[in-house]
């Protein structure tokens, strides 16, 4: 099959016309990977939707191809976003392609190195604020409401439209919806988008509906705790968000699907992060491992007991986004002299 990007593939489900210039990096069509270790452990078929293989290394490209195409349609010259990293990387790439100016606000010191490098090389105007993501988003909303700059955070409805196509791909692969869909929750755009996608596909193709399982980081869990978190913390900087923009629609996805939104500790996130790499061969960034951490937490609480079918975990971003985490916190190579003897000794022969 020839894959020309998700707008071409799912045009009938998207708000585009012949007048929409399609700005694409051929995003989407990401690997849908069976996870044998997790499947055996949990007793249901577990699949990983590896969104880290999108062109800029995260699921944000699905929303950005739509947001930037629609911005190009209205002849916008500049776009702006607040970001914990991946949105800025994606916006910078698609804006470069569309010859638009891209301005990003990031929380100083709290975005992964790879993401910052991406925004810089695509020549976005990167402004680091001495504050967190929530403060950055408030500023961006204010500025884009007053000046002719397109907002490309997931408050932009075209972002959600693009991101919903991941649910279509899953249903196309399985020929029906999974029983459960597990997903990290930060600003809560993606859980909103998947649920919209599942509902729309079900209406037309009768693919069924999953129960949505969303997971926030324990110290950045406003939806679970029921109040705004002023100073969110977590090693998973991508989801270090205390006041999600799509809070209400995430709750709607949870309730309509008879699902849940729970929280996972940094320790649980790191355990899942290592498990994915070491047992399934899939390297993701820590925020992405929150979906698997959550599934393991529910498994340990017997949540899946007596259930049948499949669990799909969205892995939202690639592990190479945040290489420092591995080198500084997990492992480093041993260093030896360049002799046969020292190497044989090291490998225990």
Residues that bind ligand AN7 (CB under 6 A): 58, 83-87, 154, 184-190, 238-239, 285, 287-288, 316-317
Residue 79 or 176 with smaller CB distance to ligand AN7: 79
Reference 295, options 307, 278, 282; nearest CA is: 307
Q: What is the dihedral of CA 129, 131, 51, 223, to 10 degrees?
A: -150
* Range list of H helices, 282-334: 286-300, 323-329
User: What are the CA-CA distances from residue 98 to residues 67, 69, 106, 244, 268 (Å)?
Assistant: 11, 8, 22, 28, 40
Q: How far is the CB of 186 from ligand AN7 (least distance, A)?
A: 3
Q: What is d(CA 199, CA 113) in angstroms, rounded to the nearest whole number?
A: 36
C-alpha pair distances (Å), 27 with each of 52, 64, 105, 109: 11, 10, 24, 29
Of the pair 126, 176, the CB lying nearest ligand AN7 is at: 126
CB of 285 to ligand AN7, least distance (A): 5
Least separation, in Å, of the C-beta of 101 and ligand AN7? Answer: 19
CB of 82 to ligand AN7, least distance (A): 7
Backbone φ, ψ for residue 304 (5° rounding): -90, 5
Q: What are the tokens at 49?
A: 């939707």
6 versus 176: smaller Cβ distance to ligand AN7: 6
Q: Residue 216 CB, nearest distance to ligand AN7 (Å)?
A: 9
Q: Which residues on neighbouring strands pair with residue 216, listed in sequence order? A: 263
Task: Match 């649980």 to its residue by tokens.
Answer: 268
Minimum CB–partner distance for residue 231 and ligand AN7 (Å):
17
- State the Cα–Cα distance between residues 281 and 279, nearest whole angstrom: 6
Q: Nearer to ligand AN7 by C-beta: 176 or 197? A: 197
Query: Cβ closer to ligand AN7: 119 or 176?
Result: 119
Q: Under DSSP, is residue 244 helix (H, G, I), strand (E, B) or coil?
A: coil
**Number of helices (H) and strands (E), helices first, in the chain?**
15, 10
DSSP state of 318: B
Identify the CA nearest to 35 among candidates 309, 320, 313. Answer: 313
**For ligand AN7, the closer CB: 189 or 222:** 189
State which residue, 176 or 216, has the beta carbon closest to ligand AN7.
216
Nearest approach in angstroms of CB 91 to ligand AN7 is 9
At its nearest, how many Å lie between ligand AN7 and the CB of residue 143?
16
Q: Which residue is nearest to ligand AN7 (CB)?
A: 186
**Nearer Cβ to ligand AN7, position 24 or 84?**
84
> Are β-strands 260-264 and 32-34 bridged in parallel, bridged antiparallel, or unpaired?
unpaired
Q: Which is nearer to ligand AN7, 176 or 182 (CB)?
A: 182
Q: What is the DSSP letter of 81?
A: E
Helix, strand or coil, per DSSP, at residue 128: strand
The 3-state DSSP class for residue 240 equals coil
The distance of closest approach from Cβ of residue 63 to ligand AN7 in the complex, given in angstroms and rounded to an integer, is 9
């Amino acid at each position: 099959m020839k894959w020309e990007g998700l707008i071409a593939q799912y045009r009938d489900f998207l708000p585009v016309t012949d007048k929409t210039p399609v700005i694409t990096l051929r995003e989407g069509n990401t690997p849908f990977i069976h996870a044998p270790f997790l499947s055996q452990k949990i007793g249901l078929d577990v699949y990983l939707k590896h969104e880290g293989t999108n062109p800029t290394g995260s699921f944000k490209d699905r929303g950005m191809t739509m947001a930037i195409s629609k911005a190009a349609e209205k002849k916008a010259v500049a776009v702006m976003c607040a970001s914990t990293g991946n949105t800025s990387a994606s916006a910078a790439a698609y804006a470069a392609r569309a010859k638009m100016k891209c301005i990003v606000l990031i929380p100083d010191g709290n975005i992964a190195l790879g993401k910052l490098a991406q925004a810089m090389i695509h020549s976005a105007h990167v402004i680091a604020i001495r504050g967190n993501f929530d403060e950055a988003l408030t500023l961006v909303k204010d500025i884009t409401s007053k000046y002719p700059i397109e907002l490309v955070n997931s408050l932009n409805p075209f972002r959600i439209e693009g991101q919903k196509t991941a649910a279509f791909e899953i249903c196309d692969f399985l020929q029906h919806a999974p029983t459960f869909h597990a997903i990290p929750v930060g600003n809560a755009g993606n859980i909103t988008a998947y649920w919209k996608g599942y509902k729309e596909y079900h209406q037309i193709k009768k693919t069924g509906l999953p129960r949505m399982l969303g997971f926030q980081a324990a110290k950045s869990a406003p939806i679970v705790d029921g109040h705004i978190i002023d100073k969110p913390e977590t090693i998973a900087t991508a989801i270090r968000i205390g006041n999600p923009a799509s809070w209400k629609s995430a709750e709607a996805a949870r309730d309509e699907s008879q699902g849940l939104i729970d929280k996972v500790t940094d320790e649980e996130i790191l355990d899942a992060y290592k498990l994915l790499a070491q047992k399934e061969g899939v390297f993701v960034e820590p925020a992405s491992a929150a979906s698997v951490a959550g599934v393991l937490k529910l498994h340990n609480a017997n949540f899946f007991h007596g259930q049948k079918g499949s669990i799909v975990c969205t892995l939202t971003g690639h592990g190479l986004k945040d290489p420092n985490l591995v080198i500084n916190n997990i492992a480093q190579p041993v260093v030896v002299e360049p002799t046969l003897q020292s190497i044989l000794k090291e490998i225990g022969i």
